[in-house]
Structure 1
């Protein structure tokens, strides 16, 4: 008989799955009031625009959606965590011009700071991180549609902070993902502005940084 320590049967169990995801179509929609009904495997179900977890565009009759059965604040049965099928985004010339403008300062700063070999190495790393961030957005969008475990928002922000923010910029528009959530976009654009500020301030001897440090010192003294 073996009396030694026994390993845990499941030292790191996976969390239990969430409610099943269902498939339906919007069969009645009042866009002015922001609610309607969808018809799926559970019959006709009420749906409100606030219960859309991710929207490609404004809902309309005929839209195919993935959803979970839930209840509203009054205890009435309704569809929740609703996600429109498909991606429905686009990346046109306007988005391309904005992205190009946002890349000017960081690329110029990196070119001025680094030797050519190191500069191109950094560009390769940045492109790789952007590709990983883009793929993470795609995976998270797909998980939202299918009701699978999502990519934590902090992970997406870390990828953006590590240099993947251009890939996130493209993914937000191409997949219409994380493009309407104010709290998420606030952090995203704070990261983008941080890159712009460092890229502008660094080559000029950090005047903005020193001015902010002086302002904080005067404020706390």
Structure 2
């Protein structure tokens, strides 16, 4: 299967022109020819089958043969807010794997102990795009610009809100707390964890403290564990 990401495609149009970059990849790299069948995803749930009408290396023309809306749409919505790791490759790893497993939105949060205060969202989004093509997903997760934790905590969210942290105290299990087929926002802190003040503020804003197991996990591992648990529990 040769899959292309085409976010500007219109479901009602019978033809589509691949971008110059994708055209070059299709014709020069993959050696596709006129008559070759390809698949397209628009990042909004659309999955398309098309046939190459004109195999031009700069402007390949496709004839759309079928459209599936809501392709493999999931029963829940998962938003993970995670502090960017000092080693950006660890964050990239999380984004790739979480996209493959299933995630809808990622917010990059800056907290008091964050060692990284910024991240290049454009570059990180390309990693997500590559991952949806690899895993054949028609929905492209949203990646938000870095935001201060205090600002994110004050934003309204219609769903369940959780916070994973390493401070002592009673913590809940997602297995026991999760309302299935719902919306979830989960906070994952930086390498130095959230501060006690940040934890208290989150609790005051309706977040529930959760445990992700007995092991002390790296930031990106904790975020991926939360992603896996939510998706596993929502399997039907």
TM-score, normalised by the number of residues in structure 1: 0.22
Relative contact order (alpha carbons < 8 A, sep ≥ 6): 1 or 2 greater? 2
Higher percent of residues as helix: 1
TM-score, normalised by the number of residues in structure 2: 0.21
Question: Which one has a bigger Cα radius of gyration?
Answer: 1
